[in-house]
Amino acid sequence: MECDRILEAVLDTLAADQDHDPSDLPRIRTKTMQVGTPSFDVRAALFGVFRLDLPQIHGLGPSLSLKLVGECETDLRAWPSAKLFTFWLCLVPGNKSSGGKVLSSLTRRSSSRAAALLRLTAVTIYRSDTALGAFYRRLAAQAGKSKAVTATACHLAGLFYNRLRHGMTYHDPGASHYEDQYRSRVIGDLKRRAKSLG
């Protein structure tokens, strides 16, 4: 409780110079409480700091969003792009090549708590009826669960970066829309290959 009071005071200080109204928050997507959620309204406090509703991204609840902000700070200008941000988190393949041939594409080892949190989030959304869930399931069937976890965590990191740095609006199209897009993409590739082969 003492730690929660300190956290709330820090967030109030960060939001002191900004005009915000908690009623501007979008309708809450889920009412389930995450384990270890602080005793105060984390969602409203983060909205007061950023004027953004970070938990709108699937998997990023209020408590997890607060932890990510704590690990990555409130200002992400140190990383000019989402690609550099995900590289810093060690969520992208670290290709090792020699003579133009790729020897290994394993991701680098990392002790980053932010990367670990994003990986845990990726595991929790694999059953959800969302585009991220469909992305995870497709990749897990093709390349295995470990690669699917890392790739989904990388995707989540990119969404978090673009939402916090550029104010990107997040709207989940749903699993069926993702599957339709993937199907049309595969069919287009097959048509191009068939045409190239005559």
pTM of the model: 0.77
Helix ranges (DSSP H) in the chain: 2-14, 42-50, 62-72, 82-88, 113-124, 131-143, 145-166, 175-196
Q: Is the pLDDT of residue 196 over 90?
A: yes
| Model confidence pLDDT, tens digit, residues 144-175 | 888 899 999 999 999 999 988 888 888 888 88
Strand partners, 98: 101
Average pLDDT across the chain, whole number: 82
Q: Tokens for 43, please give them.
A: 């969602």
The whole-number pLDDT of residue 2 equals 86
What is the tens place of the pLDDT at every residue in 71-115? Answer: 888 888 889 999 999 988 988 876 666 777 766 667 777 788 999
pLDDT at residue 11, rounded to an integer? 82
d(CA 93, CA 195): 32
Helix (H, G, I), strand (E, B) or coil at 55: helix
Contact between 153 and 110 under an 8 Å Cβ cutoff? The reply is: no
